Amino acid sequence: MNFVRPFATAAIALGAGAAYVAPAFAAAPAQFTSNGVATSYQNGKATAVKNTLYYDRGKIRLEMAQPVSADGTSAFSVVIAREGGNTITLLNPKEKQAMKLEAASLEAVTDNPSLQKISTFKLSEFGKTFRAQSKKVGTAAIAGHPSTIYEQKGKDGHFRLWLSDKHDIPLKFVYFEGGKPAFDYQVSKLTLSANLPAASYNVPAGYEVTDLSEMLKDTEINIRKK
């Protein structure tokens, strides 16, 4: 399934920017926009991608400054999803293409099992659950916002999160593999608004839509037949 590996960066950035939430008794905001940088580490090489995440009452839009390319020509630079849903969709505005991928199929994109939960999380509930299962290891200020640092070690890997004390959203996230950072995400600016038209969270009219999950299922069936 190597042909879908390039979409891992988009999937991870979405998960880091929206799926992991925060401390105390703060309430998650109905809307926010976060600017940040997602960095993946592979074979001693770091790849950083600037992105902007828009969250509006359960609707999510992630815009990446560096597009994800599957073949060197098709550049997907936008990811859309809905809180509690089961699908993420990648958009290629230049070529007017859209690619849908079910959460259960994310294992074909990345080896990190926890990323399969990206499009099924609930922002309003995750903070309480994560805090209950994690260990507090310190405090810090990220992008000018006080945060509490939590750490969790389990079968899905080793996570460290800097969680906003006031806004109940993640400000920084590090995922470790073998004791070394495999991926991190850090917010550089947080704004409590998401001033985008409602249509920004849907596939635009006129786009060619491909269901990658169906392609993966067909490929798996053909492999089993052989």
Per-residue pLDDT of 133-156, as tens digits, reads 889 999 999 999 999 999 988 776
Task: Categorize the per-residue pLDDT at 187 as very low, low, confident or very high, splitting at 50, 70 and 90.
Answer: very high
For residue 2, name the pLDDT band (cuts at 50, 70, 90): very low
- What does pLDDT average to over the chain? 76
Q: How far apart are CA 8 and CA 48, in angstroms?
A: 13
31 contacts 123 by C-beta, under 8 angstroms: no
Q: Which residues pair with 140 in a beta bridge?
A: 147
Domain boundaries, the chain: 2-126+189-225
Work out the average pLDDT over 34-49.
88
- CATH architecture entry for 2-126+189-225: Clam (2.50)
Query: What is the pLDDT confidence band of residue 121, given thresholds at 50, 70 and 90?
Result: low
Q: What is the pLDDT of residue 192?
A: 92
Count how many Cα atoms sit within 13 Å of the Cα of residue 83 in the half-sphere of its side chain.
20
| pLDDT (tens digit per residue) in 14-36 | 444 443 333 334 567 889 999 99
